[in-house]
Structures are given as structure tokens and as C-alpha cells.
Chain A
């Protein structure tokens, strides 16, 4: 508290009594936020991400509820959401939207830019590709069940070699989102400090059943493929707790 003119200011610790000017304080808070997010500076945003793509991706996340003020509510074992002030680990989820450079009828190449810059201690514990498989209106000729096979290949950035990551049979009854696990591939990418993940997606049987995997199309922003990466600080990977 400010001392009266006749009084000597109280001898207190550095955090007591003195309030920094608001503008300086604001700058300090900004630096604090950036440092906690492990960012050197605020990201430079020059264009907006299509809202439809963003909304769809966010709806697909299964994270704890986030309050208006940013505090996290973590579902407890009894199913009730409780405030989570004791969340010890810093966890991250990264949603990356696909870009495409090569599209043929049977296979497509998707590229994701998932930079680990600034967050170089992240350990990936889950990564999934989300792909929307759409049934065309005239695809009802071959019974109600349509079994297709989706293969996801990983492509080396520096050469043309590729290997199979996922081979999944999908039983389709209607148009829907499907996930394809890519944890090992994304973990390796982060460990190598690379930024670009090149995938080749192939759908066997899609043409027969009039099933269309939706890739990057202007009119289909809400069905644009995306990658969800869940990670935590790598230092905590082998943590031993004693309480």
C-alpha cells in the first residue's frame, strides 16, 4: 500500500506493495504467455483458416471441457467433470489440415506441415489421420454394406521410397469420418525435427461402391482431411512419482 507522506515506506519483499505501471505489466504478461507456449514471438497470421474446416476438426476432439476463461475441466472416473487445477503435465494437441499436390482417381498425396519448432521436447503419444468417406447418392446398388480398404503410405521427403503405415478395412453404411493411426510416423518426424509429413492415401474398392474419400476440395472445406497429434513434454515420459 502507498505510504503516507509522513511515513517511511514499509520494508517489504519485492512482490509486496509496489505495482508496476499497467503498460509494463501488460508487456510482461504477453512475454509470459509466449514463453509458456514456448513461442519466440506471436505467430504471424496473414490469412484465415476456413471456418468450416476448423469447426469440424474441433468437434472431433475428445479433450476435457474448457471453460470460458481457459480453465480445464477434466472428466473424473465417476463421469463428472471437475476443475483440473492439479494437471501436472503440459499437454498439447495439434490439428493440421491437409494440403495436396497430386490427385489421381485411385490415390492421392496429402502433405501436413507440423512444425515442432519452439516445442522441441514434445513426445507424441497419439496421432490420427481423419478422413471423410462419402457415399455418392447412387451408391446403393450392391447391398447395404460396402467394404473398402484404405491404405496409407508414408513417403520419404528426400526420395521416392515409401512404406505402408496403415492398411484398414472399412465397413461403410453411410458417409462418415474415419481415423487412421499414425503415431509412430509422426513421432519419428518430431524426433528427426522434420516439418513435412507426406502421405499417400489409396482406397481399394471405393470406385466399385461409389465411395469418394474427400480430400482437399474448395466446396468441401468442412470435410477436409486433418491430422490430430497429441503430445506431452518429453521430459515427463519416464517420470517416477513419490507422494
Chain B
């Protein structure tokens, strides 16, 4: 997966960090102190779409099946999507002032690729 650095227009992972203090959420979220709301952006030329290893995902497999059957969904376009996600654990107060620790799967985008 590529990291967006402002020089490439190809599909890459854009880091986007939100500090909970800056949005006034540090009064109810104990940990972590912020959230990596990373997202994927960039173009997906045909030669990148569905290349095994670069972005092998469920979506890629489906699109390849269509292609093998002579169908071509979405013409030459493919999507820049998260291909690897990780779990985030959050510790926060609920309305009853209980401390809640919740492991939320698929919260952080780790890698992007074309599908």
C-alpha cells in the first residue's frame, strides 16, 4: 500500500488524525487520546486493478469473476478501497458514568489498494 505524500495521484492511504481534545471529546473518551481516521484516495488505473498482492480483496475477487465471464462491471474503473483494517480499543464513560472498554474491529485503515 502506498502512503499519500502529495506527489502521487495513485491510490494511497491518507493519514487523518483527530485529537479528541481539539474536538472537546476528551471529557468522555479516556483512551486513546485521538483517532486515526485514515482514508483511501487516489486513482486506480486499469493496470493496478485487481493485481494479486497489491490489493487482493473480496471486491477484487468478485470483479475478476465478472471479467472471466466476459462481463465488465464499471468499465475500466476500479475503486481505491481499504484492503487492511485494524481493531481499535476505546475506553470511555457512558451516560451512567460507567467505564466502558470496547474493542471495535475494522476501525483503522492500515492499507489501501485498487479493487
Of B50-58, B64-72, B96-104, which stretch is located at the interface? B96-104
A231 to B19, CA, bound (A): 28
In the assembled complex, the CB of A229 is this many whole angstroms from the nearest CB of chain B, namely: 9
User: Does B2 reach chain A (CB closer than 8 Å)?
Assistant: no
User: Does A24 reach chain B (CB closer than 8 Å)?
Assistant: no
A113 touches which one: B30, B32, B96, B99 (CB < 8 A)? B96
Contacts of A36 in B (CB 8 A): 104, 107
List A residues 54-84 near B (Cβ within 8 Å). Answer: 54, 57-58, 61, 63-64, 66-72, 83-84
Q: Which residue on chain A has the smallest CB distance to residue B32?
A: A70
B28 touches which one: A25, A29, A45, A86 (CB < 8 A)? A45
Interface SS, A side: loop
- Find out whether the CB atom of A43 lies under 8 angstroms from the CB atom of B92: yes
Given contacts A25-B16, A83-B86, contact A66 B23 (CB under 8 A): no
Contacts beyond the supplied A57-B99, A64-B89, A68-B32: 8 A-B pairs with Cβ under 8 Å: A15-B41, A17-B42, A43-B94, A66-B32, A66-B89, A67-B32, A89-B105, A115-B95
- Find out whether the CB atom of A90 lies under 8 angstroms from the CB atom of B98: no
User: Does A10 reach chain B (CB closer than 8 Å)?
Assistant: yes
Number of interface residues of A (CB under 8 A): 58
A95 to B30, CA, bound (A): 13
Contacts of B74 in A (CB 8 A): 13
- Find out whether the CB atom of A90 lies under 8 angstroms from the CB atom of B105: yes
User: Does A145 reach chain B (CB closer than 8 Å)?
Assistant: no
A16 touches which one: B80, B85, B91, B92 (CB < 8 A)? B80
**What are 24 residue pairs bridging A and B, where the CB atoms are less than 8 Å apart in the complex?**
A11-B77, A12-B77, A15-B79, A17-B42, A19-B14, A26-B23, A43-B92, A43-B93, A49-B97, A67-B32, A69-B34, A71-B89, A83-B86, A85-B85, A85-B110, A90-B105, A91-B102, A92-B102, A93-B102, A94-B99, A94-B100, A95-B98, A114-B96, A115-B98
List A residues 182-201 near B (Cβ within 8 Å). Answer: 195
A29 to B23, CA, bound (A): 11
A95 to B42, CA, bound (A): 43
Contacts of B41 in A (CB 8 A): 15-19
A96 touches which one: B79, B96, B105, B107 (CB < 8 A)? B96
A interface list, Cβ under 8 A from B:
1, 10-19, 25-26, 29-30, 32-33, 36-37, 39, 42-45, 49, 54, 57-58, 61, 63-64, 66-72, 83-97, 113-115, 117, 195
Given contacts A33-B35, A71-B86, A90-B105, contact A13 B44 (CB under 8 A): yes
A69 to B62, CA, bound (A): 33
Contacts of A33 in B (CB 8 A): 35
Contacts of B99 in A (CB 8 A): 49, 54, 57-58, 94-95
A117 to B18, CA, bound (A): 27
A14 to B81, CA, bound (A): 10
In the assembled complex, the CB of A199 is this many whole angstroms from the nearest CB of chain B, namely: 16
User: Does B78 reach chain A (CB closer than 8 Å)?
Assistant: yes
Given contacts A90-B105, A94-B98, contact A70 B31 (CB under 8 A): yes
Q: Which residue on chain B has the smallest CB distance to residue A53?
A: B99
A195 to B95, CA, bound (A): 12
Contacts of B104 in A (CB 8 A): 36-37, 90
- Find out whether the CB atom of B108 lies under 8 angstroms from the CB atom of A71: yes
A195 to B78, CA, bound (A): 48
